[in-house]
Every structure is written in C-alpha cells, then in structure tokens.
Structure 1
Amino acid sequence: MFVQTSYFRCTLILILSFCYVHSARILGVFQYPSISHQVVFQQIWRELSLRGHDVVVVTPNPLNDPKLVNLTEIDVGSIKNLISAGDDLQSSMSKDSPTPQIMKAFYDTSLVLQDAIFKDKQFNAIYNNSKEKFDLVMVESHHPGMYSLAGRFDCPSIGISSLGVVIPIHGSVGNTNHPVLYPDMNLPVHSNLNVFQKIYSIYNSIFLNIYYDNWVMKQSDEIARKYLGNDIPYLGDLANNVSFLLINTNHIIHTIRPHVPKIIQMGQMHIRKPKPLPTELKTLLDNAKNGVIYFSLGSNVKSVNIDKNLQKIFLETMADLPYTVLWKWEADALENKPNNVITRKWFPQQDLLAHPNVKAFVTQGGLQSIEEAISREVPMVGLPFIGDQPMTLNKLSQAGVALVHDPVTVTKEELKSSIIKVATDPSFRRNIHKAKIELEDQPETGLERAVWWIEYAIRHKGAPHLKSPTADVKWWEFIFLDVILVLSLAMFIFLRLAKFLYNILSFIPKEKQY
C-alpha cells in the first residue's frame, strides 16, 4: 500500500511539473477607442489573467472584473473625445474615398491617439519606472507606435488585429504581398480583377509601402522618442522584429492566401453561448407574427449620422416590410417612425441574433457583426460604408449568405426586395449553416490558439527561429525593382555604346574598289 501511495505521489508530481505554466508579466496597449476592436482584445487579456499571468493593459474599454485579481487595467477612455465625430469619420474613411485618403485619415488619428496614450499619467508612471520589467508587449498592430515599448522594456512583442492588416504590416513579417493576387484589405474587389483594378491595386500597394515606411513610421518614432528617450532602437526595426501577428481572419470572410509562420489566424474571438434575452425583448420577438428583421450599422457607423436621404429610404423600406423591425438608432427619438419599427440605442446583438424569429440581419459589414451572424446562422443584407466592409461583404455575397447594396445608390425597391428575399429564400439559410460548420470545424478555438502562441513567444524569447528571411527584404526588392533598374540601365548603356560605335564606324572612309 505504501509503495502504491508513493508511486501515485511521484506520478502526480511529474504530471504537475509538465503542466506548469510560467507566470509571465505582460503589457498590452490597445489604443483604438472602438468597442468592436476592443471586444476581441478583451478576451485575450482576460484569458491570460485567468491563466495566472500578471497582465497590465492600457485600454479605453476596461473589463473592470473584480474576479481577475492579477489584472491591472489603465482606463484611457477619455481618448474617445479625440476621435472625429461619427459623421466626419464616415466621410473621411468612406469606401468611396481614394485609398490614400482613407489611410491618411486613419493614421492621422492614430498618431494623435499614440501621443495621448503616452501622456496618460498612470501609464507614464509605468514606462518611466526603471524597475518595471515585462516579458512581453502586446500591441494593436494597425499602428506601429506602441512597438516602441518592446525597445523600452527590451522584450519580445506581439501585434494583434481585430480584423486583417494592411499590406505594409503583412510585409513586416515577410508575408507575401502580391498586389494582384492579394489586394489590400481596403480595396473592395479581391478576386477576378480586371486590368484597371490590377493597375490600381499595384499603385495602391506601392503608395501604402512608401507612405507607411517614410511617413507613418518616422512620425510614430518621433512621438515614441519624445516620451521614451533616444535609447530605444528605431521603430521600423522593432516593428520588423515582431514575434507574431495575431489577425482575426478566416477563409469564409477573407481571401485565402499563404502565410509565414509568424502570422496566426484567430477568428470568432468574442463569440459566446447565447444568454437569455431581457423579458420585454424576448416577448416582443416571440410575438412577432411574421418574424423580425434586425437592423444595425455597428459602433463606428451610426444610423443617426447617415445622409438624410438614405435615412428616408430606410424608413420607407421598413414601413413596407411585413416584418417587425428592430433598429439600433442612437438617439432618443426617430421622426416619422413606422408602426412596425422599434428603436433602441443598444441591443444585446449576439443574444438577439440567436432568437429563431430573426429572419435577416441588415448590417454595415463589420467583422464582429458578421462573425455573430454566421455563428447564429442569420443571413444578411449588407450596406458597406467604410474600410474593409466592401471587401468582406463581397466575399459573403459570393458565398451566398448575403445580398449587398451600395448605400450611395440603393433604392427603396432594391432594399425591400433584398430583405424579403434573404428572409424567405431557404438557400441563404442553407449556405450560412454550411459556413458556420466550416468555420467552427477546427482543432481549437481562436482564443485557445491565440493564447498558446502568445505563451510560445514568451517561452522562446520572441521565437526568432520562426522569422522569415523575407521580413528583411524591402518591398522594392521583392518585386525586383532594383534588378529591373540595373538591367534597364545596362541596356541603356549598351544601346548608347552600340550607337556610338556605329556612328564612328560610319565615318570611316571605305576603300575604293577598282
């Protein structure tokens, strides 16, 4: 008996020793004040805290969960006031704006946010404390400014995106950037490009790389040095040595493309099991005789800020529908509201979409909203406004789970017809059921995958052994621009020399023949 007990204890100790997870100190900075971004990041820092890591997070949307005892959240919610008003954002980042204008608007705002984050007194006390140590820095990867903290604390870094990333960020880890096969995420068309779309995608790729490397990176580096001093490495070098990029993409919504080992796809980070609806809302949904259409333009595009003519089209369309319409309307009242329309400033979207009486979801095409709709198997009518929304909705249209209209040109008749078709045509339900099965058929959840690779980076000191050699290749070298220029110059010199020799030879008098 004693021998068996001793054997059991030794075995248990051995198992526990293998299961032991080193408790690391992790700093996360997620600066963009949009709940649709933050809801993805929240799941990561919550899980890391639950796994015993000491986590410090700078965020405009703290969890404020008292059960997370080893989590310190620095609330920078005041930076929301620095973002342009909703109507200005919708204008500056409109899908109809040239891509350079969209990127300039985003990065101008991001530089303002970077400066504001560094100014925060509570955060200032951390990065100015010479005794503070971190094993890893996690940053929101859309803007490179916070990679400077990896230089300050001399530790590895991980970039995390709540959606995809633009071409220069793919390039930072050496990911393939073929502008025709894999256009930038802000371009609406990602397959079967015509010749003019190919030309524009190539132009856009070159512009983004030049703009990012020569303006965004330098401006961000100057801001970082203003607060962290000149002892840190150049920001561009820090960004190109990121341990991993965790991106929230999947094959249903995004173009399939090759990835180097440092790109980790997450997916469905914030999806959870449905919770019971509030009694009033559940009763309303239960009693909707013909079913419910849910209408929401998300957190960054607000219904109250859209064009008055478009609001009128929406109202007239809803009034003609045979359904109850739940509209996320961000004001206290809606003028000329039809009787079948119910407005709220906020709905529990994941739980609402899970109700069997919801027939269709009218959405702007935000990635988190799309993930929720697929998870709850609700087909969509898409109205893309900004950023990557045209790209994601076009992909969903190809998959047969959504009908898409341009909000600039859509008519009442078109919108009404599409809503009724999506709500009644069983093919949309079949296709979205298929998409859900494909999306969820994976060996682990997106959150489990993300946390595993974060801990991998800590265990392997940034995992430099996984760095692709293409990460150090400049974009112009990747497309052989240097080779093309050298060959062109050589050809030019050869042709000039040949012409010079020809001219000389042509002046040599020929011997007369008798």
Structure 2
Amino acid sequence: MRHTCWCRMLRLLVLAVSVLFVFLCGANGGNVLVYPVDGSHWVNMKVIIEELHSRGHSITVVRASNSWHIKEESPHYASHTIEMGPFQNDVVDELASELLQARRKGRSFFKDMARGKWVSEWLSGLHRDICTMVAAIFEDESLMKTLQDAKYDLVLTDPSFGGGVFLAHRLHLPLVLNVRWTIHGEAHYAIAPSPLSYVPYPGAELTDKMTFSQRLGNFFVCIFSQYMLRQMADVPYTALSHRFFGPEVDYFSLFQDADIWLMRNDFTFEFPRPTMPNVVYMGGFQCKPARPLPVDMEEFVQSSGEHGVILMSLGTLFAELPSDISEEIAAAFAQLPQKVIWRHKGAKPSSLGNNTLLVDWMPQNDLLGHPKTKVFVAHGGTNGVQEAIYHGVPIVGLPLVFDQPDNLSRMEARGTAKVVDIATLDRAVFVEALRAVLYEPSYRENMQRLSRIHHDQPMKPLDRAIFWIEYVMRNGGAPHLRTQSFRMSWMAYHSIDVILTLLMALVLLLLIMFLAIKKCYSVLFKKKVKCE
C-alpha cells in the first residue's frame, strides 16, 4: 500500500515538473517567422521547425496557397497563406521528363548549355512568381500590420528563392539562412573567397586537385553558370527591390547581409575551402538513428539472409522512369542474389525478378540504417547522399539533373560511390556497377570511414543549428560576424587600387631616380668639358 502511494506521488511529481518545464520553455521561447521553399527543401526546413517547436519557440510559416508540400495546418506552426494561382504539377513533370531525355542523349558543352537554358527559363518563371507573392504581401496592409505587431525575433528562410530575404529587410528583422544555394548559385560564392584554382565550381564535377585544362574548364563553367543565374534572377528581383526599397539598394546585398548561414553540408562532403565566421556547417542535420521497420518490410529484409538488401530511390521527381530504363534496371536486379526494395511508380516492369519489391514509399532513413542494407542506388540528391554517409552505406549513382551529378562525383572521388551514366545504362552496365560496390570492400570501408568522421564532432549538427538560431534571438542578430567584403568594389576587394598605386609610386620613383642620374651625369659631363 505504502509502495503504491509513493509511486503515485512520484508520477505526480514527474508530471508537475514536465508541465513546469513546458511552461518555462514557452515563456522563454522565441518568435520565429519562416519563409520556406517548397519541394525537397521543405523536408530540411521542417526538421528545424519541429526542433524549434519542441524547444518552446513559436513558429509562423508564410506559405503560398498552391504549396506542394507545405500544409496550412500543423501542430508545429501557425501559418499565413498567400493566394496564388494553382500549382502546375504537369509543368514540373514535363521539365523533369525533358531533362531526363536530354541526359540520355549524352553530354557535351553545347548540350549542357542548352539544358542549362531550359532550367533557367523554368526557374526564371518561379522567381517571377515569388516576386509576385512578395509584392502581394507588402501591399496587404492588414497582413503587414499583423506581421509587424507579432514582434518576431528573426526570419528563417531558404535563399534559393528570395521571398524571405526581402521580407526580413522589410520588417527590419535579423536573418538566418537555411542554405546550400542562393538565387546566384552555391552559397559560398556569395560571401566566402572561392579561388577557382582549387575550389571546384558546382556542375564542373571536379575535385580540389585540378590540372591546367581542368582549371580552365572550371573557370568557364563558373563564368557561364553565373551569367545564366544572373540572367534569370536580375530582372524580377531588381524590379521588386527598386519598387519597395529604392534604386540605391542592390537586391543581392540583402542576401549577403544575412546574420547566420546554416550551411547544409560539411567537410565530409565538401572539399576544403575558405569560409567565413557566420557560416555554420550542419551537414546531415536531418539524419537520425534508424527506427524499427514495419513488420512486413522487416520480414522481407530478413528474408535476404547473408546476401543483404539493395535500396533504390530516385527522389520525388524521377520515381517514374521511362519504361525501357525500368526494364533494364529490373532485369539487372533479377540477376543478383540480394533482395531489392525499389521506390517505383508507373507500370510494373515485365523483367522484374522475384527478389524485387516495388513500393510507392519507403522509410529511407530506417532502411539505410538497417544492418542488412548493402548498397543504396540513388540519384544523388543532397538529402539521400547525407543519409548514406550518416549510415555508412555505399552508393551506386544514377545522376539525372541539377546538383546530382556534382554530388555523386564528390562521392566517387572519395571512393564511396560508383556512378552510372544514364545515357549508357543497360542491364550489363548496371549489374557490373552493382557487383563492384557489393563485392569490392573498399567502397563500404571508405563510406564507413566518412560516417565515422561525420559522427566524430562535439555536438550534433541539428543542435548546432538550433544554438545559432537561438544565439541570433538572444543577441538581436550577429552583425559582428558579417563580412564587409560584399560592400567593397571589385577593385578594392582584390586590392587592385592599392597595387596600381604602389606600381605608380614605384614607376615615379624610378623615373625620379633616372632623371636625377641623368642630371648628375649631364652636370659632371659639362664640368669635364670646361676643364678640358
């Protein structure tokens, strides 16, 4: 009886402490305004939002009415919905199909230029839509008053589109970026020194050890990419900036003036390069230990015996491949003793073997963390690559578009992946790649070494990200960490004016010395003539 009484008292005490903890967290929590980017970028932002909410912070999300994944109702955040036109999913599917077909035709400089032009035209339309949405927010006096009265501590946004950056400037709030890309490309190039001699430009598929011809190629890829990115972003964002902030405001300086850059990669993935004090690396922050699988999937995995399991997922855009490619992949899988779990949409391939399970969705993180998983067949998206690193699973890569070829080339350079060009893919090529990664121990050993390096850090990447968000809340920003480099002219940044001044001074000194010597010589010569 006495034991039961003590148990009840203990439970009441634990409950009281828990309620007090939640109350105190809520009382001391910050107020965060989030302007996210849809698609796979939302997967990353949602992780941070849920963690901030769990720590007692109040979150408000600004979303478009045609959002693909961002829901209006959530237990983790409130939302403001901006009315936009219907989401054109068929346009996305059409672009993905065109890019895939172009990739299958092989690569060349001119083909890459044409492919880049298609992507630029599509992204340019998305940038114009974002600018329209931002203008609608700014012109809605009631909404702007609501946002101002809410007394937010900061704006958290993904700068691959510019809406959140402009909103932060309009509300005069500190800005934290959840970033790998800005509207002008890879984020480091916006604020950090990026020497093209050893920093490979995304898309060049190079390492930090380049020959002269590779450095030349790296230079041209950078120039062409920067030109294309500016072409698609300059017009809509310049017009928006001039309309609401005046012609003296350079729109991209608003991005560069962010307080903290939470970078979605780290140096297990990135090659060594210069960085800045307000860049915080949180690569793999969305990864977590594997949870138990659903019963039916666990039974299938266990049925693989000593051979293990192969996972295949090509993300949301390319879950449905052309039928001829699907047939070749299915036929290749059928030749292996391993069991295969393949995230696949569309018609069932006729060459599908009994060892392959087709699914509409899979718990990818949990499967990658399963001890029977041997290989991950992936398209090379950042999230999937980082989950593979986290769990130490080697990759067979099928890069398709965007940053995927570059991501996989980095993994291949580290000996953790074998990349198959979809232009040359058939069952023989695919089986050869699978067997290489399955049976050559170096691939798994190299990936597990990367995994150990990733885990060997003083705090978890997500905890590091949350610390710096709360740091900005506590200190009202982080201006002492922001570089002044982007406020300098190109000549001043590279000290061209100083070098020219010193050269002119040296030339002037040499000229004075020459004239002085000439004068002395002429005087001495005249004296000598007179003496004679």
CA shift in 2, pair 1:209/1:461, >3 Å: farther
CA distance in 2, matches of 1:221, 1:374: 40
Deviations 1:459-492 (A, max 9, x none): 3332111122323235576567889999999xxx
Alignment of structure 1 residues 145-160 onto 2, 5 Å: 145-160=163-178
Q: Which residue of 1 aligns with 2:315?
A: 298
Q: Which residue of 2 aligns with 1:276?
A: 292
Q: Which moved more, 1:237-246 or 1:335-344?
A: 335-344
Q: Which moved more, 1:452-461 or 1:71-80?
A: 71-80
Measure how far apart 1:118 and its partner are.
3.8
CA distance in 2, matches of 1:106, 1:257: 31
Q: Which residue of 2 aligns with 1:4?
A: none
CA shift in 2, pair 1:353/1:23, >3 Å: closer
Equivalent pair of 2:188/2:275 in contact (CA under 8 Å)? no
Equivalent pair of 1:58/1:123 in contact (CA under 8 Å)? no
CA distance in 2, matches of 1:111, 1:165: 9
Q: Which residue of 1 aligns with 2:517?
A: none
Alignment of structure 1 residues 379-394 onto 2, 5 Å: 379-394=394-409
Alignment of structure 1 residues 16-165 onto 2, 5 Å: 23-31=29-37, 33-34=38-39, 36-59=40-63, 60=67, 61-62=69-70, 68=76, 71-74=77-80, 80-81=87-88, 84-89=91-96, 91-92=98-99, 96=107, 97-98=112-113, 100-101=116-117, 104-105=120-121, 107-115=123-131, 117-118=133-134, 126-127=143-144, 129=146, 131-161=149-179
Question: Match of 2:257, as an amino acid?
Answer: N
CA distance in 2, matches of 1:265, 1:54: 24
1:285 matches 2:301: yes
Measure how far apart 1:232 and its partner are.
10
CA shift in 2, pair 1:466/1:230, >3 Å: same
Equivalent pair of 2:181/2:187 in contact (CA under 8 Å)? no
CA shift in 2, pair 1:246/1:314, >3 Å: same
Q: Which residue of 1 aligns with 2:520?
A: none
CA distance in 1, matches of 2:500, 2:345: 55
Q: CA RMSD in A?
A: 3.7
Which of 439, 444, 455 lines up with 2:470 in the alignment? 455
Question: Match of 1:159, as an amino acid?
Answer: L
Which of 188, 193, 218 lines up with 1:170 in the alignment? 188
CA distance in 1, matches of 2:122, 2:200: 19
**Larger relative CO (CA 8 A, sep 6+): 1 or 2?**
1
CA distance in 2, matches of 1:117, 1:82: 19
Equivalent pair of 1:167/1:177 in contact (CA under 8 Å)? no
Equivalent pair of 2:290/2:365 in contact (CA under 8 Å)? yes
Q: Which residue of 2 aligns with 1:416?
A: 431
Question: Match of 1:181, as an amino acid?
Answer: Y
Alignment of structure 1 residues 329-340 onto 2, 5 Å: 329-331=344-346, 333-340=348-355
> What fraction of aligned residue pairs are identical, expressed as a percent?
23
**TM superposition score normalised by structure 2:** 0.76
Deviations 1:427-455 (A, max 9, x none): 32222221111001111111111111112
Alignment of structure 1 residues 298-377 onto 2, 5 Å: 298-300=315-317, 302-306=318-322, 308-331=323-346, 333-377=348-392
Measure how far apart 1:164 and its partner are.
8.9
Task: Provide the secondary structure at the position in 2 that maps to 1:444.
Answer: coil
Task: Provide the secondary structure at the position in 2 that maps to 1:57.
Answer: strand
Equivalent pair of 1:151/1:232 in contact (CA under 8 Å)? no
Deviations 1:314-372 (A, max 9, x none): 13212222222221112364444333322111111111222222221111111111122
Which of 237, 242, 245 lines up with 2:261 in the alignment? 245
CA distance in 1, matches of 2:490, 2:400: 30
CA shift in 2, pair 1:133/1:487, >3 Å: same
Question: Match of 1:283, as an amino acid?
Answer: E
Which of the pair has more CA radius of gyration? 2
Q: Which moved more, 1:379-388 or 1:407-416?
A: 407-416
Task: Provide the secondary structure at the position in 2 that maps to 1:84.
Answer: helix
How many residues were matched structurally? 465
CA distance in 1, matches of 2:366, 2:254: 41
- Listed as ranges, the gaps of 5+ residues in structure 2 are 1-24, 505-532
Equivalent pair of 1:117/1:123 in contact (CA under 8 Å)? no
Equivalent pair of 2:329/2:427 in contact (CA under 8 Å)? yes
Task: Provide the secondary structure at the position in 2 that maps to 1:378.
Answer: coil
Q: Which residue of 1 aligns with 2:19?
A: none
1:262 matches 2:278: yes
Measure how far apart 1:122 and its partner are.
13
CA distance in 2, matches of 1:67, 1:171: 37
Task: Provide the secondary structure at the position in 2 that maps to 1:85.
Answer: helix
- Listed as ranges, the gaps of 5+ residues in structure 1 are 1-18, 490-514
**TM superposition score normalised by structure 1:** 0.79
Measure how far apart 1:230 and its partner are.
5.8
Q: Which residue of 2 aligns with 1:183?
A: 200
